[in-house]
Amino acid sequence: MSHSFFNLYSHDFARVAVAVPRCRVADPAYNAQETIRLARDAAAQGAALVAFTELGLSAYTCDDLFHQRALLDACLAALNDVVEASKSIASVLVVGAPLRVDHQLFNCAVVLSGGRIHGVVPKTYLPNYGEFYEARQFSAADEALSQDITLLGQTVPFGAAQLFEVENLPLLKFHVEICEDVWVPIPPSSFAALAGATVLVNLSASNVVIGKADYRHQLVGQQSARCLSAYLYSSAGRGESTTDLAWDGQALIYENGELLREAERFQDESHVIYGDVDLERLSRERMRQTTFGQSMRRHAQELSRFRTARFALDLPRHQVLPLARNVARFPYVPSNPALRDKRCNEVYNIQVQALVQRLSSSGIRKVVIGVSGGLDSTHALLVCAKAMDRLNLPRANIIAITMPGFATSTRTLEQARALMAFVGCTASEIDIRPSCIQMMKDIGHPYAEGAEQYDITFENVQAGERTNHLFRIANHVGGIVIGTGDLSELALGWCTYGVGDHMSHYNVNASVPKTLISHLVRWVAESRQFGDVDSAVLLAVVNTEISPELVPGKSDDGAPAQITESVIGPYELQDFNLYYTLRFGFAPSKVAFLSHAAWSDRETGHWPNDAHVVRNQYAMKEIKANLAIFLRRFFLTSQFKRTCVPNGPKVGSGGSLSPRGDWRAPSDSEAVVWMNDLKNVPDVA
């Protein structure tokens, strides 16, 4: 059980490889041996699928040598060597070779494994412009007469409209096209994806000129994104003739528009890159994006042409096989500093623009906000300030109130005061303790008589009094209450329902998770969004331990008794759990597997050569325990709070929890199926 759990194939991943052999022009025997060597290496690394280069057994640059029988016979013999060798290679191989069919010559991709040829795919589009003269030697796929051919004593499907499915990994269904096929307006792989292919393979030669490598990235990345697929792309490297051209050996693996792996270009030796493709993610994206299904129906006649070859592979399922793929610890926050700054800038402007529109459309010129001195209210206050600037309204139109209660710490109170001064809003302070005591007297709570009973009622009386004040002040000044609660709190139900921090007139933080908010506040400070004003107070807020400050502490420094993350778990873990649960609908066992890949002691980096070790963060037992907290709170106890949330802008593809947007769920469902699946997660690695 333990070994299979920590195996990527148990979670609908597939390790794929793109191999670029160093070749010799018109030396098929040598090229076959190099192909076999790389195939064995890839299989040893657990790869299920290995793609090679266009016409790799002959080399691409043979020109009119392709019309020489000696070369074509040698290519057939070389292919036979690869087929025989595949009997002891536990991967499916896709190799390029010139093949004679019906008195014509075709530029082909041959799909084979276990000593069997599963299909031959001829190139559909032959470039005959610029430096390319393929129509001089080859025929295009549409010119073929036969749909089945005899090859090396085997009857084999022949044609471009083929899919290949691994029976014991059914989400791995792939299609093969060749070089120019992806450069045309409607590549064959577009229809193949609609027909069910989750992985698209391109055997390419593709000589290099200035700027072409970047264009390949755009081409392959966009094709994988539009087709909601993985895309494997090879291009020929060292050994091809440089009579008139040059070759860089670029190899790419993309998944739904995201680059998983890229080879270093201009290498002298053969090389292989690996990527672990999340097949379930691709399948779920197609289910979620209903226009994909509409496209299937629209092109049903074209899709009916596809045939599917099915075969099994000896996958390495019964061993520890960790992901050779970076899993971001903070899926809502880019790890690259430049990209992170760009993300923060965009999120901030989305929030500001949304609030500007709400104020403009309603004709309201004032906002009311409670400022606690913590992260969420700080960021919401910053959004309000920038919105007033955009509307050319004075920041005095921000009515900001800090409302100390029974457990408010000196630190957060001082930070709240400093923040309001920093922004230049209309600031005031209301001590809510008298009204809270009156409320507790009215309802007969023991605290009103001097008992130290700090129960949920004691906490919610304070949250309710704060929100009640804000709404009445908004009535009084003609403004709207700006909510401050974030996506993480809403996911975990960490908010007081109704007249509490759950409610507002408009919540600018509604779809921003806690881990991103901390970066947003830091970004506002470091990028000087408010000019040269000293923003040290913002950095102090970022470094403040998160607490609702509702239960009095007993320490001399006035620190609160409550530490939020000691109750609901670390936000960095719970935001990770939220992302993969909400965005992709993954089962808890897969979320835990991904969390282990991201947060445990592991090797990271461009696998396997330039790995580095990161310090341990969370052991498997901690990952499982905190995921259990998340599942109970998210699925069982908190949905009723999410069915009636205020308006607020969605900021990211990670999703929101608004019932008008990404998440619609019953308030009285059970969590049993998620908790049962969690039992499949081991306590130790």
Q: Is 607 flagged in the annotation as binding?
A: no
Q: Is 447 flagged in the annotation as binding?
A: no
Phi, psi of 679 (to 5 degrees): -65, -20
Report the distance separating Cα 62 and Cα 71, nearest Å. Answer: 9
Q: Is 199 flagged in the annotation as binding?
A: no
Tokens of 348: 């901030």
Report whether 448 contacts 570 (CB < 8 A). Answer: no
Q: Which of 34, 54, 134, 572 is catalytic?
A: 54
- For the chain, the maximum distance between any two Cα atoms, rounded to a whole number of angstroms, is 103
Rounded to 5 degrees, what angle do the CA atoms 21, 25, 29 make? Answer: 70
Helices (H), 227-372: 279-288, 290-298, 300-303, 337-362
Tokens of 58: 């002959």
The Cα-based distances of 608 to 324, 539, 597 in angstroms read 8, 38, 15
Q: Is 484 flagged in the annotation as binding?
A: yes
Q: Is 206 flagged in the annotation as binding?
A: yes
Beta strands 251-255 and 258-262 are: antiparallel
Q: Is 215 flagged in the annotation as binding?
A: no
Q: Is 579 flagged in the annotation as binding?
A: no
Nearest to 98 by CA among 128, 118, 71: 71
Continuous segment of H or E residues that includes residue 628: helix 620-631
Q: Is 372 flagged in the annotation as binding?
A: yes
Q: Is 212 flagged in the annotation as binding?
A: yes
Report the distance separating Cα 473 and Cα 94, nearest Å. Answer: 70
Q: Is 494 flagged in the annotation as binding?
A: yes
123 is catalytic: yes
Report whether 271 contacts 249 (CB < 8 A). Answer: yes
Nearest to 181 by CA among 144, 231, 147, 230: 231
Counting beta carbons within 10 angstroms of the beta carbon of residue 323, is it exposed (0 to 12), middle (13 to 18) or buried (19 or more)?
Answer: buried
Q: Which residues of 160-171 are buried (b: 16+ CB within 10 A; e: fewer)?
A: bbbbbbbeebeb
Q: Which residue has the tokens 């996911």?
A: 491
Q: Is 489 flagged in the annotation as binding?
A: yes
Q: Is 467 flagged in the annotation as binding?
A: no
Q: Is 231 flagged in the annotation as binding?
A: no
Report whether 502 contacts 476 (CB < 8 A). Answer: no
Reduced to 3 states (helix: H, G, I; strand: E, B; else coil), residue 320 is coil
Q: Is 129 flagged in the annotation as binding?
A: yes
Report the distance separating Cα 56 and Cα 75, nearest Å. Answer: 10
179 is catalytic: yes
572 is catalytic: no
Q: Which of 108, 179, 227, 384 is catalytic?
A: 179
Report whether 552 contacts 562 (CB < 8 A). Answer: no
Q: Is 198 flagged in the annotation as binding?
A: no
Report whether 57 contacts 78 (CB < 8 A). Answer: yes
Nearest to 115 by CA among 287, 313, 258, 388: 313
Report whether 645 contacts 658 (CB < 8 A). Answer: yes
Report whether 499 contacts 464 (CB < 8 A). Answer: yes
Q: Is 497 flagged in the annotation as binding?
A: yes
Q: Which of 108, 123, 165, 590 is catalytic?
A: 123
Task: For helices 514-526 and 571-582, give the axis angle rounded to 10 degrees.
Answer: 110
Tokens of 301: 């006649």
Report whether 599 contacts 661 (CB < 8 A). Answer: no
For the chain, how big is the Rg over CA atoms in Å?
A: 30
From the annotation, which residues make up the binding site for L-glutamine?
129, 206, 212
From the annotation, which residues make up the binding site for deamido-NAD(+)?
460, 489, 494-497, 641
Active site residues: 54, 123, 179
From the annotation, which residues make up the binding site for ATP?
370-377, 484
From the annotation, which residues make up the binding site?
129, 206, 212, 370-377, 460, 484, 489, 494-497, 641
